[in-house]
Amino acid sequence: MHAATHAAFALFAAISIGAAAAPQQFQIDPANTQVHWEVRHFGTSTSRGRFTDVSASVALDTAARRGSLAVTIGTAGIDSGVKPLDAMLRGDWFLASKAHPQAYFVATNLAFDGDRLTQAHGEFTLRGVSRPLTLRAIRFGCQPRADSSAEVCGGDFEAEFRRSDFGITYGLPFVEDRVRLVIQVEASRPAVTLQEPAKAPDA
């Protein structure tokens, strides 16, 4: 793992397991957490796809406007719907999945409008190269779960980066440099169960 990314993960862990006032850890819903990508192709249509191997960690305190986000993407899990293209995208011209099996986004600087998360400023690591990246919230909200007292938070986020910044230059300019990411995240905070105080033994 890139040194800066490793340090960011360490900071994320420290925030998540810190004092009681720290942001609370949320459990990701894998079925509703996905990363999609799109890029213009030959100046005409837009090629789109997703990554099937995604995991994430979220710590959030909307009242204090604090939190952190860490997303790990398995680069070999790219899926465009076209198998020959997927094989090319996994290769050295693009994602170099054998040498760099994972990409990371780590953010510990979150921006809020009231209690609504609007942006996540962090670092994106791809092919061993790290660059600043900001996720912008298209929508975000929190609400109690219908079947329990747990809280569910989630939203849709978007970001853009230039693939040439990460050493991916094959096909330029016919395949556009700009890549758009659309990230769907949903996570829940388990209900807190209060323990009854221990009873004194009978005299």
Distance CA 152, CA 146 (A): 10
Distance between CA atoms of 59 and 123, rounded to whole angstroms?
17
Residues 68-81 have pLDDT tens digits of 999 999 999 999 99
Break the chain into its structural domains and give their ranges: 24-189
**Position 133, amino acid:** L
Task: Give the model's pLDDT for residue 79.
Answer: 98
Confidence (pTM): 0.80
Q: Tens digit of pLDDT for each residue in 29-47?
A: 999 999 999 999 888 899 9
Q: What is the pLDDT of residues 150-181, one digit of tens each?
A: 889 999 999 999 999 999 999 999 999 999 99
- The CATH number assigned to the domain with range 24-189 reads 2.40.128.110
- Asked if pLDDT for residue 197 goes beyond 70, the answer is no
Rounded to whole angstroms, what are the CA distances from 97 to 39, 127, 195? 19, 8, 47
For the chain, the average pLDDT equals 86
Segment 123-150, tens digit of pLDDT:
999 999 999 999 999 999 988 877 767 8
CA–CA dist 152, 188 (Å, integer): 4
Least confident range from 14-18, 88-92, 101-105, 110-114: namely: 14-18
Assess whether pLDDT exceeds 80 at residue 8.
no
In sequence order, the β-bridge partners of residue 130 are 125
**Residue 17: pLDDT above 50?**
no
If DSSP codes are grouped into helix, strand and coil, which group holds residue 167? coil
